[in-house]
Structure 1
Amino acid sequence: MWTHAPWRGRFLPHPLPPQDRLRAYATWCNAVEGNTTFYATPATDAVESWARQTGPDFRLVVKLPKSITHERRLQGADEELRAFLRAIEPLGPRAHALWVQLPASFAPGDLGALAAFLRDLPRSHRYAVEVRHRAFFEDARSERLLEGVLTGAGAEWVPFDTTTLFQSPPVSDAERDAWMKKPRVPYRSRALTDRPIVRYLGRDSTERTVEGWQRWIGTVTEWLREGRSPTVFVHTPDNADAPALARRFHDEVRARLPGIEPLPEPDPVEPLTLF
């Protein structure tokens, strides 16, 4: 996301070399979804650049390649997994969690494959799983079985909250595109580990986006009081204002818990001059 074109000149200086964009983004937010790794295992030099641009406390939630999760469906992917784990080694502690996003067709009957996959993963990383089959949200037995698999592996369940998007019909091209592509699953806010991860999708309207996240403000505040360390990603259909919205979410949590550290001060977008 740190290369998102609409952010250039608004949140990120422009022009800005690709090798500096993550560093500039990291002055706005202290975490990012590593979504590009879904499409291909990154080159080691690219990962080394990500590490150079961020501090050790920066959080990358890195998605496993689709060749593992969607094409092989977690089975017979040992070679691809080893290559991926080697590639991300330079991230060190910045690899906050490895994100196993599963297709909507991955159903309760496939939980054996997930259990075996998680069991064989190295303990040097934390893992977070996102499911999209509605049975995991609507069938109590399927929910319990999945929670048991995840808890047994020390893995987190990543909710993707799209309920605000689907509250009413779309009003823009970006919202219509999101309606076609994003999963329509029930709201879930139960954390399984001390590092919960939330993905929230709002609307084009800032007012509606902020209104929709209010219950997450309460949940995240409670998690922090319990000693957990949550990571929240804020999206909108076009993501044009996502960095500013993420900071606003953080500020709303800080208003309830003033002891939470503020986010870093963003770099100026325009280059400094003497005149």
Structure 2
Amino acid sequence: LVTEFLTRMSPLAPRIGQYWLQLPATFGPRELPALWHFLDSLPGEFNYGVEVRHPQFFAKGEEEQTLNRGLHQRGVNRVILDSRPVHAARPHSEAIRDAQRKKPKVPVHAVLTATNPLIRFICSDDMTQNRELFQVWLQKLAQWHQTTTPYLFLHTPDIAQAPELVHTLWEDLRKTLPEIGAVPAIPQQSSLF
């Protein structure tokens, strides 16, 4: 199925930034041979990322080093999950509580294993707090932008807040990386059809 899917998607290859594989917390170091086999079978025309959640992949020990080395050898990005904002939020709404239940609370390891680092920044509904916690990424994105093409995914507990989050963080990002230009217009959907 994966091969068929990627074959059908191949005409879009130039427009697809990255496919990423999100592994559950139960996928640990003993399963790495299966991951290597899977990644080695993928076509080379796409960029790939792997998001891990098992605690040993964040313990800075041999297991994490083996993961990072294996991804690096294959040119696969380690997806960086930063869920600090949502877990620092006061659980005052169902959207926040739901996000806190679903999003893993793992250490942030800003590790480059390939040329397209992908950061998933999981925010709260407090834009001031989000902006404060995003500051560390401004320097890192500027540094990485010199030699790689980083991707940044911004998540909010309530999707309706996504435009506000983009506007909140964009100006700081633009000061660091002026070449990104003005904040993009976010299209509004007026109806389903």
Q: Same fold judged by TM-score > 0.5?
A: yes
Residue 81 to residue 253, structure 1, CA distance change in 2 (3 Å): same
2:161 maps to a residue whose letter is D
SS of the residue corresponding to residue 143 of structure 2 reads helix
In the alignment, structure 1 residue 242 sits paired with structure 2 residue 159: no
Give, in angstroms, the shift of residue 260 of structure 1: 3.4
Asked whether the 8 Å contact 2:87–2:100 carries over to 1, the reply is yes
In the alignment, structure 1 residue 192 sits paired with structure 2 residue 116: no
In the alignment, structure 1 residue 96 sits paired with structure 2 residue 28: no
Listed one character per residue, the Cα deviations across residues 53-104 of structure 1 (whole Å, up to 9, x for unaligned) are xxxxxxxxxxxxxxxxxxxxxxxxxxx1122113323423111111111111
How do residues 14-25 of structure 1 correspond to structure 2 at under 5 angstroms?
Answer: none
Give, in angstroms, the shift of residue 256 of structure 1: 2.2
Calculate percent identity across the aligned residue pairs.
35
The count of corresponding residues between Structure 1 and Structure 2 is: 190
How do residues 220-239 of structure 1 correspond to structure 2 at under 5 angstroms?
Answer: 220-224=141-145, 226-239=146-159
Give, in angstroms, the shift of residue 143 of structure 1: 1.0
Give, in angstroms, the shift of residue 262 of structure 1: 3.5
Higher helix share: 2
RMSD: 2.0
Which stretch shifts more, 185-194 or 161-170?
161-170
SS of the residue corresponding to residue 116 of structure 2 reads coil
After superposing on structure 2, the runs of 4+ consecutive aligned residues of structure 1 that deviate more than 4 Å are 266-270
Equivalent residue, structure 2, for 1:162: 83
**Distance in 2 separating the partners of 1:177 and 1:251:** 29
Listed one character per residue, the Cα deviations across residues 168-189 of structure 1 (whole Å, up to 9, x for unaligned) are 5522111111121111111121
Asked whether the 8 Å contact 2:77–2:113 carries over to 1, the reply is yes
**Which of the numbers 246, 254, 260 marks the counterpart of 2:174?**
254
SS of the residue corresponding to residue 176 of structure 1 reads helix
**Distance in 2 separating the partners of 1:180 and 1:268:** 29
Give, in angstroms, the shift of residue 131 of structure 1: 0.6
Listed one character per residue, the Cα deviations across residues 26-54 of structure 1 (whole Å, up to 9, x for unaligned) are xxxxxxxxxxxxxxxxxxxxxxxxxxxxx
SS of the residue corresponding to residue 147 of structure 1 reads helix
Residue 139 to residue 191, structure 1, CA distance change in 2 (3 Å): closer
How do residues 27-66 of structure 1 correspond to structure 2 at under 5 angstroms?
Answer: none
**Which of the numbers 37, 46, 51 marks the counterpart of 1:130?**
51
Equivalent residue, structure 2, for 1:206: 127
Residue 151 to residue 177, structure 1, CA distance change in 2 (3 Å): same
Greater relative contact order: 1 or 2 (C-alpha under 8 angstroms, separation 6 or more)? 1
Taking structure 1 as the reference length, what is the TM-score of the superposition? 0.64
Listed one character per residue, the Cα deviations across residues 216-267 of structure 1 (whole Å, up to 9, x for unaligned) are 122112212x232111011121122213322443331221232334454445
Gaps of 5+ in 2: none
Give, in angstroms, the shift of residue 269 of structure 1: 7.2
1:140 maps to a residue whose letter is G
Max Rg structure = 1
**Distance in 2 separating the partners of 1:267 and 1:107:** 40
Residue 243 to residue 145, structure 1, CA distance change in 2 (3 Å): same
Gaps of 5+ in 1: 1-79, 271-275
**Distance in 2 separating the partners of 1:130 and 1:201:** 14
**Distance in 1 separating the partners of 2:167 and 2:13:** 25
1:214 maps to a residue whose letter is Q
1:231 maps to a residue whose letter is Y
Asked whether the 8 Å contact 2:20–2:48 carries over to 1, the reply is yes
**Distance in 1 separating the partners of 2:102 and 2:13:** 33
**Distance in 2 separating the partners of 1:212 and 1:191:** 20
Taking structure 2 as the reference length, what is the TM-score of the superposition? 0.89
